[in-house]
Structure 1
Amino acid sequence: MKLLLPLLLLSSAIAHADTTQKPNIVVFLVDDMGWSDLGCYGSELKTPNLDALAKNGLRFTQFYNGARCCPTRASLLTGLYAHQAGVGHMTEERRDESGKVRPGYSGRLNDTSVTIPEVLGNAGYFTAMTGKWHVGQNHGVKPEERGFQRTLSAAAGGFYFPDSKGTRVFYNGKDLGKNADPLPKDWYASDLWPNFGLKFIDEAITEKKPFFLYNAFNAPHFPLQAPAEDIARWRGKFKAGWDKLREERYRRQIAGGLIDAKWPLSPRPEDVPAWDSLSAEDQDRYDHLMAIYAAVIERMDKGVGILVDGLRQRGQLDNTLILFLSDNGGNAEAGVQGRSRGDNLGDANSDVFIGKTWATLNNTPFVRYKHYTDEGGISTPLIAHWPAVIKDGRRGAIEKQPGHLIDILATAVDVAGAEYPAEFKGKSITPKEGTSLLPAFKGEKLARTAPIFWEHEGNRAVREGDLKLVALENQPWRLYDLAADRSEQHDLAAEKPETVKDLSAKWDAWAARANVLPLGAWRAPEAKNPKGSKKRNFEVKAGDHLEGDEAPDLRNRAITLTADFDAPKGDGVILAQGGTLHGLSLSILEGKLVFFLRSAGDTTRVDLPGPFEGAVQAKATLTRDGKVTLSAGGKEASATRKGLIGTNPIDGLTVGDDGGPAVGPYETAAPFQGTLRSVQITLGKKKTS
C-alpha cells in the first residue's frame, strides 16, 4: 500500500500535467458583418483589438461561412454542412407531403451530429458559451443540452440593451428575462458576453481544466443599437459616401496584400444611387445609419478586447487559440432605403438597418450579400491568434488557402487531441466534413481533398481549387476562376461547358447525400397557400398590399393587368404578387418594361424595349391558352408558356414594390420611382381542365 500511494499520486500528477498543457480555445462569432468591415481588412472603421490579434496572428483571406445566421451556427458547432446538422434554413420546421420532418430542415440541431463542446467535454475541457444561440431553442434544443457546462445566452438575439424590445437572457438555462440577478443593472450586450465569458474561464482555471469558450456576439445584427456617445463620435464621418469609401477600402486591400490588384472592384449595383446624386438631407440620413453601425462594430471590438485582456491578465493568452469570424456577409435586407424607425435612432426603442447601400461597402470588393452564395454573401474575415504555435515568422501573415466553417470543429478536435465519435448517446454520428486548420497556423498546406459546397434558399455554389460554380435560385450556373477574378465579373460558363458539367455533377451528388434536396424545402408547405379573394376585378394604387384571402386568386385563370403611370427615370417594380416559386410581376428593368410569370419554378418573360416617356399605359395579359402579351406606347411583344399559374402564391400582392421574396427577374426589387396612378387586375373564370 505504501508503494501504491506514491504511484497513484504520480499518475495523478502526470494526468494533471497533460491536461494543463492542452490549449484553450476561444471562438468569437459576429452577426451580419461584411468581409471588409475590420480595420485589418481594409476598413475605415476602428477595430484596434482585432487589428492587434491580426498583427500577432494570421488573417485568412478566403474563409467562408454559410450565407446566413442559423446555418452558419449549425455548421460551426458541428463540423458538418448545415443541412446535415438539421438546420438547412432557419429554425422553422419543415415537413414533407406525408407529414415527416425533412432531415435537412428540422429547424434544430439533430442527434446525428455532435457539437464542439460535446467532443471537447469528453476530452477533459471546461465548456462555456455566451451570446446568441439560434439553432433550435424554440424546439427545445438548448446550449446546456448540447455540451455547454456554463452559459449566458440569447435564444435568437435581436437586442443590445436591457430595455430593448425582445430582450430575454438565459443563465445556465434559467430565464432571467431582461435584468435579473446575476446580470448587472445596466448592461450593453457586447460588454456582457465577454465579461461573463471571463467568469466562466475563472471557473475553468479553478477546476484546473483547459477551456472552450464560444462567444457569439449579436453585433452588428439589426436592430442596430449603441450608446448615444459612441454614435455621436461617428456622425459626419461617412459623408464621403459609399462610392468613395468603397474605392478607398479597395485600394487599402490591394496595398495590404488582402486582394489581387487584377480583381476589379465590383460595380455599384444599378439600384444603389450614386452618392453625389443624393440631396444633403438624404446624405445626412445615410451618414447617421452608418454612424450607428460603426458604433456597434467599435463596441464589439471593445468586447473582444475585454476578453483578450482578461486572458492576458490570467496568464492564459499564449496557450489560447482564438478564432474570430462572421456568420454571413453584409446585410442588404432593408433594401436601398435602409430603415430608420424611432425618435432617437440607435437607442433601445429604435429599429435601424443600414440597407443595401452600405452593405455594398461592407462586402468590398465582392458582389451580393447575406442570403447569397456569391462571394459577398459567404466571405468572412478569419483571424487566428495563438502565440504558442503561430510563431514570429508567421505573425502578421496573410493566409490565402480556402477554408470553411466545417473546419472549425476539425481544428478544435485536432489541437485538443480529442476524438471525434462514431457514436454519441446511443446514436450513430455523421462523419465530420472539415479539415484541420492547424497546418496553416504553421505555414503548411491544408489536407483538403474535397470541394467546398453551399446552398441557401436555392442559391448554391461549389468551389474546387480556384474554380467556383455559383447560381441564384432558379437561375443557370455561372463559373468563375477566383484566382483571376474573385469579384466574379467574368462568367466562364459558356467557355468551359465541361467544367460546368463536372462541378454541377459534384454539387448534385453532395446535395443528395447532405439532405439539401428537394430544393425549395425551406419554404412553408404548399398546403398553406391561401385560397385568395373571390373577386375577379381589382383596382389598386401605389403602396397597396394585399395578403392571403384579400389578394387575387391567380390559380388557373387568364390574367389582365393594366397600369397607368408616368415613366420613371430608373428601374422599379410596378406590381408584384408571389415569390420565387409562383407569381407574377410587372416592372421596369434595365430600361425595359418586363412582364414576368412563374409557376412551380417554370418562368416566362416578355420584354418591351424602352425608352418610355411621359404618361404610359401598359397592358399585360396571360390568356387561357398560355399566350403572354405585353403592350405599351404602340409597341407589343409576346411569348407562349405551357399553361396558367397552377398554384396561388403564399406571398401577397404589392403595388409599387416587391415586398417579399423576389418574384421577378430582378435580383433585388427596386421601388417604383415614377408616379403610379392606378393598376387594374382582371381575372378570367377559373379553368377546370
Structure 2
Amino acid sequence: MEYKKREDKPWAKYVNKFPMVGTAALSAAILLGGCQAQTEEAGANKAPQEDAENQAMTDEKTNVMYVVLDDAGFSDLGSFGSEISTPNIDELAENGLKYNNFHAAPVCSPTRASLLTGRNNHAVGMGNVANFDFGEGDPSRRAKIPKEAGFVTEVLGENGYTNYGLGKWHITPTVELSPAGPYDRWPLGRGFDRYYGNLEDSSDQFRPELFRDNSPVPFPDEEGYHYSEDIVANAEQNITDHVSIRPDDPFFMYLAFGAQHMPHQVPEEYIEMYEGKYDEGWDVIREHRFEKQKEIGIIPEDAELAPRDPNVPAWDSLNDDQKKLYARFMETYAGFLTHTDEQIGKLMDSLEEMGELDNTLIVLISDNGASFSGGEHGAVNQALAYNKVPAEFESLMEKYDQIGGEQTNSDYPSGWSQVSNTPFAGFKGSTHAGGIRTPMIVHWPNGMEAEGEVREQFTHVSDITATIYDVLGIDTPDQLNGVEQMDVTGISFAETFDKPDVETGKNTQYFEHSGKRTIYHDGWKAISVHEPGTDFEEDEWELYNVTEDFSELNNVAADHPELLEELIGLWNEEAEKNNVFPLSENFLEGLGNVPEGNMRAKSSFTYYPGMSHLSESAAPLTLDRNHEITIPINYNKGDEGVLLALGNDKSGYTFYVKENRLHYEYHNGTDRFIITSDKKLDEGENLITYSFENTGKNQGTGSLFVNKELIGETEIITLPLKTSFEGLDIGKDLLYPVSPEYADEGSFPFTGEIEKVQYDFEESEYILAE
C-alpha cells in the first residue's frame, strides 16, 4: 500500500515518498520470536505465531519518540473526553490510534523503568519510586536497575540510533544525584547520547534544578521562562542538529514532561483561559466527561461511572469560598495541560517542517493516574503535601491569587483528581483502575493505515518497548555490553495497528504498589483491598469481569470463588518470578530511610566552597537525628551572604551573615524558627557551630555557637520526611531563597571566606520506616 495523503490535516503538507511493505508481508512481520516468545519461566503471556521470523515492518528509516505526561488521568485529554483544550495531542490521536485499555504502574518510577526496559518494574529493581531505599532485605525497592535489564536506548544504540533524553528522569536512586555521580545509572550511563532535564521526581516549572548530560547547569534566568518550553526547545535543537547533519540516520527521543505533576505552575494567561469553566464543580464536570467519552467512543455505551469517592464531598455541599478556591486550582491544572499541549504542538511542527513527522513512531502516555496529593482542599506547598501535613483552608485562601505562580507549589483537590480519572475509581498509587489505566496514543503515518480509531486490547507499559523492537525488526540481544540480558517480558501490540480485533497474546499482568495488589488474566482482574496495619493474608480480594465491566465497578468475587482463588495464586506466581516479595505497605516513609549501604549512610560529610548545587535527596538527612554542623569562616567587617542553604521559600534551613550578625533560620512550611546573634561577629577566623538535639518525634532543640560560645537556641518543629524540594548550596542560595530576609539579594553569595561545611551525626544509619 502507499501512504494516503491527508489533505485535511495541518501536518499533511509533506507527502510520504516511501512505500510501505505489503499487507501480507506486514501480517507475517508483526510478531517476533525474539521479544515475544515467552517461556513459562519468563511469564504467563504467550505470543501467537512464536515461529514468525523477525522482520521489520518498514524498510525505511523510522525514528521513535516516547512522550510521557506525569500524573494525567484517563480523561484529561480532549481525545479521551476532556473539556480541556489539547488540540495538538488530539491531532496525534486523530491521525493515529487511541488505546483505552492501557495500563501503567501505580506510580511514576516503576512506569518509567518498565517503559525504558520492556520488563516488569520489580524485576528490574524499581518496586517503588527512586527516592526510597528499603535496604538490602528488599532488593526490588532500591531503585537500582541492573545492567542485565538493558534500556531501549542501549539496544537501539547498537542498531544505529542516536538517543536523546529530555525532561524528568527519576529512575536513578536519588541519593546518587550528586554533581560527582556516580553516573552509571544516569541517562548517559544507560545509553542516551544527550540529556537535558531534571533528575529528581518533580520540578519547579519556573526555577528547575537542571542537568545537561552529566553536569548540573544553572537555570536560564530569563523573563518568561518555563520548564516545559525549555525542554521542548532543546528537543527541537537536538532534532534539528541531527536531521541537518545525519539525515539518513534514525533517532530515538524520550520526552518526559513535569506536567501534570505537582507543582502546577503556568503563565497566568493560561489560567485565565479557564476562568469560570469549573464553577459547575467536579460532580457536573465528571458527568460531562463521562457522557463525552461515550459520544466519542473512548468507552463503551454500557460503561458505568464510578460513584464519587467517599472522601470527596459533593460539590453542592461546599460553601462559596470553597467553590471559588477549588475552581481556581482546576483552572490552573487545565491551563497547565493546555500549555503542555502547545509545547507538543511546537515539536510536531518542527518534525513536520523537517519532513520527519510521518516516519517518526510516537507513543504518548501518562505514567499513572491522577494524584490525590492535594488532599481535601488542594495544596500550595509541595513540602507540606509530601510530608503529609494537611493544609488549612484559610491559609490556602490567602494564596488564591498566587496559585499557579512562582510563590506556590500548587496541586488540585482530590475531587478534581477523580474527574481526571473518569470513569474509574481510585487515584495514583492505587492498583484499582484510577491508579493504573491511563491514555495511550500511537501515531505513525508510515506504519499504520488506521486513523482516529480506538483499540481495546489489554496493553501494559512494558509492552511499548517490545513493540518498538518488533516493528524495527530488532532481536533483543542475549548479551549487551558483555552482560547477559534478562528476558524482555513485554508483548508487542504492533499487529493492532491495522487489525482492531487481533489478539496480542497479552494474557497476564500483575501489579503491586506498597502492598496493594492486582492481577489481570484473560479478561478478569482480581484486586486486593489492604487495610493498613493488617497482615496481607487478611486482605479481601475483589473480582471484576473487565470484558463486560469496563469501569471495574461490579465486584463478582462471591459469584466466582474458585476463579478468584486461581487468580490470587497466579498473582503469587507472578510476584515470585518478578521479585515482588517481601510485601510492604510503606510509601512516603521511605523518604526518611538511610539504611546501611546508602550513600547518605555516613557519620560525617564535608563540603567545600565552590561545590555545585547538591540535590536534597543526596544531601545529609537531618530530620529527627542528633547532628552538628560546623562552618569555619574568615570574616571581615562588612562581609555578608549565605554560608549554607538547603531548600527554598517553601521550606528549608539557612545560615547567613547580614549587618555583621550571624543568622540561622529553619522553615517547616508553616513556621519559621530563627536564631539571630545579639553580638556582631569578630573580624578574623570564626567557627560557626550548630547543634540539633532531637527531643521527640519531629522536634528538637537547635543551638547556635560562635567560637564555642552559645549565641542562641530555639525549639524547632521539623518536617517528618523530607526537608525540601530544593537542594543544598555552599556560600550562596541558588534558585528560591530560604529566607525572606535576603530575598532581594539574588543568590546572596558570601563575600568572606568559607573553609568548609561539615555535618556530623551520632549514627550513620537511620531507618524511619518500620
Q: Which amino acid in structure 1 is aligned with residue 79 of structure 2?
A: C
Is the counterpart of residue 158 in structure 1 residue 188 in structure 2? no
User: Where do 5+ consecutive residues of structure 1 fail to align?
Assistant: 1-17, 533-542, 553-577, 580-648, 653-689
Is the counterpart of residue 520 in structure 1 residue 561 in structure 2? no
Q: Distance in 2 between matches of 1:281 and 1:521?
A: 36
Aligned residues: 519
Contact 1:89 1:522 in 2 (8 A): no
Contact 2:464 2:490 in 1 (8 A): yes
Q: Distance in 2 between matches of 1:502 and 1:46?
A: 44
Match of 1:241 in 2: 281
Contact 1:70 1:87 in 2 (8 A): yes
How much does 1:485 deviate?
1.9
Mean CA deviation greater in 298-307 or 464-473: 464-473
C-alpha spacing 1:519/1:137, structure 2 compared with 1 (3 Å): closer
Mean CA deviation greater in 120-129 or 443-452: 443-452
Q: Distance in 1 between matches of 2:345 and 2:454?
A: 22
C-alpha spacing 1:379/1:21, structure 2 compared with 1 (3 Å): same
Q: Which amino acid in structure 1 is aligned with residue 509 of structure 2?
A: I
Q: Any residues of structure 2 matched to 1:439-454 within 5 Å, and which?
A: 439-443=495-499, 445-454=502-511
Match of 2:251 in 1: 211
Secondary structure (helix, strand or coil) at the match of 1:152 reads strand
Match of 2:296 in 1: 256
Contact 2:151 2:191 in 1 (8 A): yes
Is the counterpart of residue 360 in structure 1 residue 424 in structure 2? no
Match of 2:235 in 1: 197
Secondary structure (helix, strand or coil) at the match of 1:215 reads strand
Contact 1:19 1:209 in 2 (8 A): no
**1:170-210 deviation per Cα after TM superposition (whole angstroms, max 9, x unaligned):** 11222113227xxx764312222222112111233222310
How much does 1:424 deviate?
1.8
How much does 1:227 deviate?
0.2
How much does 1:503 deviate?
0.9
C-alpha spacing 1:186/1:239, structure 2 compared with 1 (3 Å): closer
Mean CA deviation greater in 151-160 or 496-505: 151-160
Q: Which amino acid in structure 1 is aligned with residue 463 of structure 2?
A: D
Mean CA deviation greater in 428-437 or 209-218: 428-437
Q: Select 1:174's aligned residue among 215, 222, 242.
A: 215
Match of 1:494 in 2: 558
Contact 1:118 1:147 in 2 (8 A): yes
Match of 1:469 in 2: 526
How much does 1:531 deviate?
12
Q: Select 1:396's aligned residue among 449, 452, 456.
A: 452
C-alpha spacing 1:93/1:358, structure 2 compared with 1 (3 Å): closer
Q: Which amino acid in structure 2 is aligned with residue 109 of structure 1?
A: I
Q: Distance in 2 between matches of 1:388 and 1:548?
A: 63
**1:484-542 deviation per Cα after TM superposition (whole angstroms, max 9, x unaligned):** 2232222111211111111111110111110110001866699999999xxxxxxxxxx
Contact 2:58 2:471 in 1 (8 A): no
Contact 1:22 1:416 in 2 (8 A): no
Q: Any residues of structure 2 matched to 1:49-68 within 5 Å, and which?
A: 49-68=88-107
C-alpha spacing 1:260/1:113, structure 2 compared with 1 (3 Å): same
Match of 1:297 in 2: 337
**1:520-573 deviation per Cα after TM superposition (whole angstroms, max 9, x unaligned):** 1866699999999xxxxxxxxxx9xxx996369xxxxxxxxxxxxxxxxxxxxx
Q: Distance in 2 between matches of 1:263 and 1:521?
A: 32
Q: Distance in 2 between matches of 1:531 and 1:429?
A: 42
Mean CA deviation greater in 167-176 or 452-461: 167-176
Q: Distance in 2 between matches of 1:94 and 1:322?
A: 33
Is the counterpart of residue 330 in structure 1 residue 366 in structure 2? no
TM-score, scaled relative to structure 2: 0.64
C-alpha spacing 1:159/1:209, structure 2 compared with 1 (3 Å): same
Q: Select 1:187's aligned residue among 208, 220, 225.
A: 225
Q: Distance in 1 between matches of 2:506 and 2:260?
A: 34
Q: Select 2:127's aligned residue among 88, 91, 108.
A: 88
How much does 1:404 deviate?
0.5
**1:564-602 deviation per Cα after TM superposition (whole angstroms, max 9, x unaligned):** xxxxxxxxxxxxxx99xxxxxxxxxxxxxxxxxxxxxxx
Contact 1:160 1:226 in 2 (8 A): no
Q: Select 1:230's aligned residue among 270, 274, 293.
A: 270
Q: State the percentage of identical aligned residues.
A: 32
How much does 1:465 deviate?
2.2
**1:312-360 deviation per Cα after TM superposition (whole angstroms, max 9, x unaligned):** 0000111111111000101112221111355611112212111211001
Contact 1:363 1:376 in 2 (8 A): yes
How much does 1:448 deviate?
1.9
C-alpha spacing 1:47/1:31, structure 2 compared with 1 (3 Å): same
Is the counterpart of residue 77 in structure 1 residue 121 in structure 2? no
Q: Distance in 1 between matches of 2:571 and 2:196?
A: 38
C-alpha spacing 1:522/1:147, structure 2 compared with 1 (3 Å): farther
Q: Distance in 2 between matches of 1:39 and 1:84?
A: 35
Q: Select 1:133's aligned residue among 169, 186, 191.
A: 169
Q: Select 2:81's aligned residue among 42, 54, 57.
A: 42
Q: Distance in 1 between matches of 2:115 and 2:411?
A: 26
Q: Distance in 2 between matches of 1:120 and 1:455?
A: 29
User: Where do 5+ consecutive residues of structure 2 fail to align?
Assistant: 1-56, 177-181, 381-395, 531-535, 596-622, 626-669, 671-692, 699-719, 722-766
Secondary structure (helix, strand or coil) at the match of 1:323 reads strand
Contact 2:458 2:506 in 1 (8 A): no
C-alpha spacing 1:518/1:506, structure 2 compared with 1 (3 Å): same
Secondary structure (helix, strand or coil) at the match of 1:87 reads coil
Contact 2:133 2:593 in 1 (8 A): no
Q: Distance in 1 between matches of 2:64 and 2:414?
A: 35
Contact 2:271 2:331 in 1 (8 A): yes
Q: Select 1:146's aligned residue among 177, 190, 200.
A: 190
Q: Distance in 1 between matches of 2:593 and 2:454?
A: 51
How much does 1:650 deviate?
5.4
Q: Which amino acid in structure 2 is aligned with residue 377 of structure 1?
A: G
Q: Distance in 1 between matches of 2:520 and 2:317?
A: 38
Is the counterpart of residue 113 in structure 1 residue 132 in structure 2? no
Match of 1:317 in 2: 357
Q: Distance in 2 between matches of 1:188 and 1:347?
A: 11
Q: Any residues of structure 2 matched to 1:612-631 within 5 Å, and which?
A: none
Q: Distance in 1 between matches of 2:58 and 2:545?
A: 45
Is the counterpart of residue 423 in structure 1 residue 487 in structure 2? no
**1:73-114 deviation per Cα after TM superposition (whole angstroms, max 9, x unaligned):** 111111111111111101145455xxx363311223222211
C-alpha spacing 1:420/1:237, structure 2 compared with 1 (3 Å): same
Q: Distance in 1 between matches of 2:377 and 2:323?
A: 11
C-alpha spacing 1:185/1:104, structure 2 compared with 1 (3 Å): same
TM-score, scaled relative to structure 1: 0.71
Q: Distance in 2 between matches of 1:388 and 1:197?
A: 22
Secondary structure (helix, strand or coil) at the match of 2:110 reads helix
Q: Distance in 2 between matches of 1:125 and 1:161?
A: 30
C-alpha spacing 1:187/1:137, structure 2 compared with 1 (3 Å): farther
How much does 1:125 deviate?
0.6
Q: Distance in 1 between matches of 2:466 and 2:329?
A: 39
Secondary structure (helix, strand or coil) at the match of 1:128 reads strand
Match of 1:408 in 2: 464
C-alpha spacing 1:339/1:418, structure 2 compared with 1 (3 Å): same
Q: Distance in 1 between matches of 2:98 and 2:171?
A: 28
Secondary structure (helix, strand or coil) at the match of 1:351 reads coil
How much does 1:28 deviate?
0.3
Q: Distance in 1 between matches of 2:215 and 2:206?
A: 17
Mean CA deviation greater in 144-153 or 257-266: 257-266
